[in-house]
Structure 1
Amino acid sequence: MSGKKGEKKLYYHGLKEQKKLDVSRLKYLSILLSVIGVAVLLVAAQSAQAPLVRVSDVYGNYLMNYAVVRINGTVVTVPYVSQTGGKLGITFTVDDGTGQIDVRVYSPLADEMIRKGLVPFPGDEVTAEVQLRVRETYTYSMLQYLDGLHFRSKLYSEKPPLVKSLNANMSNTYVAVEGIITDFSNVSSGYLLTVDTGDSLVSVLVPRVLLVFNNLSVKVGDTIYAPGIVYLYKGTSPEIVVRNLTQLAVTPIEEAPVVPIGEAPNYPGMVLAVEGSIAGITYENGRYALTLTDGGNYLDALVPREVLANLNPFNASSESTVRVAGRMGDDGRLVAAYLEAVKPVKTEFKPIGVLTLDMRGSIVAVKGNIEEVDRIGSNLKLVIDDGTGRLDVFVPSATLAELSNETKAQLKVGLGVEVGGYLELYRGKLEVVVYTGEGIRALGEPLPPEEIELPKVTAGQLADYEGQLVDFAGSIEGLTYANGTYYLTVDGVKASLPREALLNLNPLEAGTGSPVVIRGLVAGDNLVKGENITVEVPIAPIPLKPDEVTVDMEGQLVAVVGKVTDVANLSGNLKIVVGNLPVFVPRSTANELTYVPAKGDLVQIGGYVEIYRDEPEVVLFNPASIEKLEASGPTEGTVSDLKTATEPLLLTVTWDSIAYQKPDYVITFHDPTGSATLLAERSLLPNPLNAGTGSTLRVIADPLSGRITGLNVTRAKPSPILRTGSIGLSMKGKTVAINGTVSSVAIIGSNLKLTVDDGSGEIAVFIPGGANVSVSKGQTVHLAGYVDEYRDEPEIIVYDLSAIEVERPSGTGEIEEVTVAELSKATGRVNLTVTWDGLGYENGAYYMAIHDSTGSTKLKVARTLLPDPREAGTGSTLRITYDTSAGEVVSITVVEAVPAEELRTGDVTLDLLGTTVVVEGTVKDVYTGSTFVKLTIDDGSGELVIFIPKSVAGDLSFTEGQTVRIAGYVAEYKGTVEVIPYRGDCIEVR
């Protein structure tokens, strides 16, 4: 069939045929329905909220990585701004009570957040919809759209209460302060200001997030009104964090009204300016007291060093007219924050010799060649000489920090320097205090010799030159000492001389009758205050025998030749007996001796005669006026000859044993004729690794002094290497060597004590003077020394530092660098770069509090590893190698040093717990316990307790009236604040 007739009918017979449907349109309908369905699902998804989670449930949960969640909590950090490659980033931290998590916002969302004023600040209650990022040791989140951040409450007020001070109880309140800016720092988190409210100093932070699209002009001296949130920096220190620049008001210091000096005290609390010349400068409790005068009235202004530093001492002398601005205090003194020389008068250079006590406090300029350079803590002291006299120059640490490296490198002995500052009196001597880096000019070469023409006068002419600097000429008649001063009698006139100047007079070369010239200030017709002395024609004295010195020679310069019969140390002074004549060497001279005679030495000594207990004695005041005279050389002999010999003997002996007899060592030896024991200096002893007991020695023995004066090894016998557990008291006095692993390290004063074990048993090792030997627990050592007894147990004494070899452990690859947050999961040895926050002592160990950007913690550390706080204290950036297995610090490297702050004793409070400080004061009380010494010191600002462990104090002794300078950390004992030094070299007794 064909056509319609051939089609099969798809309906029953009798039914009407239906119209055909076009099903091709159904596919378009289905596509439309699918699109509509997806759109509905998308709208539904967008309107659905992400789940609200707790930080503790998601932190470190890898299953939540990339999850979108909501977090409710309080903002607990100041927003941190980063700008990398022109892209802006903001980070703030939210605490929901179960934990804390960082929320990051990236550009361009961060830009929009700042422009719309939607940046969260501490104390704000927020809900944030974020996407999580879970890393191995750190979990953070990202805000992906601005509507995902909702403020449930903002810490803000249009009219915040005005406060004068802050305390920790004000945390998360909105307040305002008004006062003068006394310090300004551009730190990573923004502008950090110190504001003096009149009652206290308040820290104000203008966060960098507010400065991204805004400019803020502010400086020291300006008056500021600053509202904001009270935030506890590091959890303890309250500061105001500004959240709205439109509320901030700054009044430049230049706009302060000028008030006459005589009227200024009538305006307490007012910000004002005064003008006048400088009547004096002194240092007072961390600030400088600047006295101004208008010719009839005087006014004191307390000026921070940073402000005083604006006054260049070379360009503005005390005769200059200066303007000082600040807040007038209730005590009639101006608390200054701004200083300017409005009519500067250039400072003229003066000879050092014309500087007098009545010039104290005035600005001076001097120049000279450097004779001494000393570091005193973090400060620098120079001694300069211009030919007219010597002068101390004190450079505080803040000034030193302003000097360029080139200038510092040229501050060397022998080079010239120009100095500007104010004159101060310190311990009875004038010194120049350089209060600004502009006050030092290093010349890089010695000053050319300049003839300073001073009147040359004789004894009969002195009355005509009273009060003037002169060159006084005459002949030496004698020398005396009274009340801390030396007096040289010249032609009947007494000339006082500092000991440093008197060193130019050597009585072995220039005795009585020698013509001299003394440069000094004429104080009267019979007194010259001398600065230095020049011997024009030395007349050598005739040497005397000891019994030729009599009481009739009191005050005369003499030279004595004889043999030393006794030497004794009297609390730092020396007493030398030559024949039967006592020679007294004061401590100051004894400390400078390059040769200290021994009993039996033939010597020549020069000094002046003094009467002591009705008998004559010679006082040696110049360390160069003692000489050892050569006796005849040693003769060959035997040990048996020692009993009758009077001259040195040359012996060939076998070394039997060694022991210590302070300050020398006792050497026992023998030859075929007998045995003997003599004393020897440590420097003469051979390295026991190479030559120990049993070696054949060639020695020079002095039978009169009982000492070995020379020693050579002719046949070396190395110390035997023994097992540590086999060494017993039967070996006492014998030298031995060991190889083993260090199981403990302790520093005792300047000494080092180890415990070493090679697996057979432990042995104690004591290393005199070995505190600086670099050895740590776990290292392998090879060493040699002699066996001694300590508390009924054997101990090895290593008397030669070259007899200890430390083997470094073989490396296992580069040490991993970790953050504080990653430390808890780290293994082995790791490196951290951190900021040192504090130091404490717990359960017999020291702990350092440290932090980095990821967190904070405490690390156990050996006292020997701690840096010198005078150079690098708390606040310093350190690189620490930490052994996670042992749970202790292995090594410390200072990356960026912050010296410990020097404080008055009365300014050390419990707020500084753990902080390193430097203090100086007079000892008021001394208490000695079984393991410690406790001092009470005072510098006039209040008493302070110094707690010194005996392991730190070493051999130091303390008495009331001493001046001590201590560097250590602040601690607390039963509510009393203490400073505890942890290094022996940080205890200076003056």
Structure 2
Amino acid sequence: MSDKHEEKDVRELLEKHPLLDIEKQLYYHGIRPMKEINLTKLKILSIAFVLLGLLGIYFFAAHAPVPLVKVRDVYGNFLMNYATVFVEGIVSSVPYVEVSSGGRVQVRFAINDTTGELNIYVYDPQATEALKKNLIPFPGDHVRALVQIRVRETYTYAILQSLDFLEIKRNMSEPLNVTLLTRDLANKYVRVSGTATDIREVGSGTLFEVDTGKGLVTVLWPKILDFIYKDNKNYTYLKNNLTEGAQVDIKGVVYLYRGSSPEIIPRGIDDIWVEPIIPVTTTINNISNYIGKYVKIYGVMGEINYEVGRYSVMVYNDTSRVTAMFPRNLIIELNPFETGTGSKLEIIGSVISPTNMLVIKYKVLEEYPSPLLSIGNITEALDGYTVTVKGIIRDLTITSSAVIFMLEDDTGLIKIFMPGSVYASLGVRAKLIYENASITLSGYVDIYREELEIVVYTANGVETYDYEPPGEGKPLPQLPGAPPPQPQPPPTEQPTTIVLGELGNYVGSIVTIDVYLDGIQYDYDQRLYVLEVHDDTGKAYVLSSSTPVRTAIDPFVVGCGSRIKFTGTVKSDQKYGLVVDIGSDPGNIVVVEPVAPLEVNIKDLYNMSLGVIVVLKNVSVTGFNVIGSGNWIFTAIDSTGLIKVYVPASVASNIPADIRSILESGGKVTIAGYLTTYGSQLEIVVYTSNGIIA
């Protein structure tokens, strides 16, 4: 059908059935021309509507009130993460301040709104400003704060958004006078007067008891006040006056430590008064005339011992001596490297008997450094004397109550005892203490259960091995009225030269054996080197600490087959049978006829006996890594294969920096050590600091 016929049919249809206007526009708009639509105007109009909508949203959001929420509604609620809200409640913790290594300040406190407890953090610069303006909430204060909620998997906390939105309402009523504290006084403002006693430092401040005559009241002088009043001379005066026996008048809010133990928390300088003690200056000879009173004496520091929660220090003058009882918080301030036995002191304290006084203050007038001694020269004659020693940590045990280990140098071993409180106060320096670490220590000599030990009684007595102590080359001090002790190593039994076949006849005796070296291994259970040896009469094992092996058996010079004389004690070992234990004296190994170690390719190692001393020449290094407490591990490669190489931390710490640089960069080195396995994997152990050369 033609177009003309179609058009005719449409016209006839429209004449019979007229269309509505809307139908004409929808279905037959082509019949009559329509007005053109301007799309540009439509775009502008739509954008205008969007902008108006956004402005409206912003206006309503900016003027909408920030909600006040309950702790239970935000705690653990991930929908509230990063929400900015108001919270309010009663402060339920002592405010805590912390300064990072970069000098940034952080303040933390907690609030409780009866539905839960929430920690609120204040970060710099607001934290520093809050301290300057003393805008710090204390227990019992009512707080309303604008915070941002942070929700973690196991912990929810808040960050203060602005000091302008931190409202603190404090109880300013007259304090209630108390002589004892009970839990029902929680958040009440109270006042206590009496004598300060049992003063000690804790993480959140200075804790002490106030003896009211009817009982003891615990007071926590919060550390945060030291920051608030750091430039206030009156505050410093009061803090310095706080000593054992000082008269105090303290106001503050009762806080339940761990929810049960009541203690008073002073909230500012106006809540604290400490009456200074004015002692009578006298001599040690005359203190018996001042029993029950405070005196100032001068004397020479003598022996130190520990007695029931306090340290006793003998203090001498030319004719008399007195036992000065130091509270732990005072004696830990001493640096035994610099102030040891023989130092001159000024001491203030209360006289409790003709021969005893309780120290509340002291001043070092003249230092006498603790002498640096070899371990072999420390004997019972030095009981109570302070000494400095250097050595390697062996048999380390760390518990919450104490750190105990053996310290080894070229002359012997001695037990080291460090109270758990001292270890905890080391901070980052605790990283210095690990198995096989080299270290410098200072403390006093003690005899505990008939065994000599050194007690490291302060964190000031721990330094790196490279530290040069001021007591190096210093003689032992001479105390007034007595000659200095003359430490002498105990006499040693003369060894008997025997052959290995005779070991069973000399158990417990000191012997010398002339044998040939078959191999080296390390027993990690006993922390000793095990050397397999033989002579014409049999085979046996020699046990040795690290020092003799690393000193005498140079892996580039002394290989398997070398003739060596060992001197030590014959023992029966459960694992190795009859052995010769040579201890830690390098003189107990004498190389008579060295045989050069084997120079091998890596491929050859897989057909060799464990313990053999070998040299790998000019091998490439890859995969250098530091693991554990400073151990090195890497892979050595030559044209025949590859093998793992292990360097213990005690060895790695003494390897030159340029060698480490080559290892890290994947250069070429020559390696000497012994062959062993770790798990099921073959490896070379470098046991001396000269075992890797460029």
- The TM-score normalised by the length of structure 1 is 0.34
- The TM-score normalised by the length of structure 2 is 0.46
More strand by share: 1
* Higher normalized contact order (CA 8 Å, seq sep 6+, divided by chain length): 2
